[in-house]
Amino acid sequence: MLGVKLYSIEKGLPLEKDLFLSLTNNPTDPKLIWKAVLGKLQLKVTKSSFETWLSSTVGHRLQNESFTVSVPNNFVAEMLDQRMYSIIVSAVTQVLKKNVAVNFIVLPTKDSLSRNSTPIYSPSPELKPKVHKNPYFYNKAWRTFENFIVGESNKLAHAASLSVAENPGRAFNPLFIYSGVGLGKTHLLTAIATFLDKRKCRALYVTAEEFTNEYINSIRLGKTDHFRNKYRDIDTLLIDDIQFIAGKEQTQEGFFHTFNSLSSAGKQIVLSSDRPAKEIERLHDRLASRMIGGLIVDIQQPDLETKVAILKSKSESLQANIPGEVLLYFAEQISSNIRALEGCINKIIAYCQLTNLVPDLNLAKSIVAEISPPNQYNQYKKSSIIETISSHFGLSPQLVLGNSRNKKCVIARQICMYVLREDLNLSLAEISQITGKKHSSVIYSCNQIINSLTSKPKVLADVTTIRSILNRKLENLKTPT
């Protein structure tokens, strides 16, 4: 009998009694063993990672000191072997109560074989998106909660946005979302607006530039009553890129009174910005204080698994059969934002349509070469990461990259490798070359930080602060020509 607590794949709850008995009566059944392992893994990885990499795997064979798992393609096998091997081995060991080597074997499923037989692009008339004329956000109405890919970098912003949509004016008011360009702020705001619209709630989505233009025109044309009624006779106001009103005295005055009117009436306000409210220059203090009076959430650069899930979702929505190795290459090479990732998908589809080329790594490399930063810019980012982490911990770069076992040095070194891997998407070989550490040490360090982010608030605070400083530094850097 296996001495393990079993979990269901769907909700992380104890398995039904008959399934537990099945595994008890068949302790060497690889399929049942792997189901128990998946139950444990679901509690350790993000939902997007689980669905992308693990949901299509099946226990294949238990033999002596080896456990084999079948996967649908080489893409999944490579990802599990390189990115999740340590936690998979740990989960298998817990279930089997002994150490075994875990191997992956490619056994394509009927679904994957069917997908591989489809053309690169096969548009269907039934799936053409509807194009609405007004208001503005309906042009982005495909951006819903259902097609927002959730990962570690955005799960708090997603949860807060969904909570606001379900309980406007009661959950978090105002909700302030900030991040760099192209990471999902607009997607979440339009998702909230679309959600509320389906519930027949009066939600108004505008950009700060549109709000500014309307306010100025209302004054110029003597239609301030019309403006006031439009922006106050609603249930939820969503303003994108609120930093645009900074320095515009009249607009800030108009927004201040609009904010107060909605807030006092218990109406929901959702704002987005490219930086925290306190860092928006030439923004009135009274406005900044109101913006930070609710919940402030940020969206970080997505991790590799989330980026691949986004690419996979995008390619499937366009009915494009792009090989997994190409999606992985795009995810590893593009670190700027999600729009750039989606641009890669659009571009490779266009190339294949116009030239009848087959999407492969060579084509993917040529596309990335067109949009990726020059080597000098990448080099700056590498050195900037090391310098920023060294300064944050009050250490010299030599100590951070050295072999000191001092606790502060170890944490700084592990964070350095984690940020180089996750934010700059460097390969293990490149990180090893920079730090002088072996591949196994790099993997171990990255896993340590990943685990610490959910269990050690101090490490989470350190990583968040370092990323914030790096983002400000890199935004001020002009890419060399």
Q: What is the DSSP string of 331-344?
A: HHH--S-HHHHHHH
The verdict on residue 131 lying in a domain is no
- The verdict on 282 and 189 lying in the same domain is yes
Domain enclosing residue 336, as ranges? 304-371
Same domain, 162 and 248: yes
pLDDT at 105: 85
Cα–Cα dist 428/417, whole Å: 9
Distance between terminal CA atoms of the chain? 66
| pLDDT computed for residue 315 by the predictor | 84
Count H helices and E strands in the chain, helices first: 22, 8
Q: What is the total count of domains within the chain?
A: 4
The answer to whether the CB of 328 falls within 8 A of the CB of 79 is yes
Could you tell me the CATH number of the domain that includes residue 345? Answer: 1.10.8.60
CATH code: domain of residue 164: 3.40.50.300
Residues 384 and 367 in one domain: no
What is the rounded CA–CA span in Å between residue 98 and residue 111? 34
Same domain, 391 and 366: no
Q: Are residues 156 and 288 in the same domain?
A: yes
List the pLDDT tens digit at each of the 481 positions of the chain.
Answer: 343 333 333 344 344 445 455 666 667 888 888 988 888 888 877 777 788 788 889 998 888 788 999 988 776 777 787 678 888 988 888 888 888 888 888 776 554 444 444 444 443 333 333 222 233 343 445 678 888 888 888 889 999 999 999 999 887 889 999 988 788 898 999 999 989 988 888 899 999 988 998 899 898 888 889 899 899 889 999 999 999 999 899 999 999 999 999 999 999 999 999 888 888 888 999 999 999 888 999 988 888 888 888 888 888 877 888 888 888 888 888 876 788 888 888 888 888 877 777 888 888 888 887 766 544 455 667 888 999 999 999 999 999 999 888 999 999 999 999 988 877 767 777 788 888 888 778 888 988 898 888 788 888 888 888 888 887 776 665 444 3
DSSP 8-state symbol, 46: -
24 shares its domain with 86: yes
Q: Are residues 366 and 417 in the same domain?
A: no
Residue 103: DSSP 8-state = E
Cα separation, 328 vs 333, in Å, equals 9
CATH number of the domain where residue 44 is located = 3.30.300.180
Kind and range of the H or E run holding 418: helix 407-422
Phi-psi region of 406 (alpha: psi -120 to 50; beta: other; left: phi over 0): beta
Residue 325 and residue 467 in one domain: no
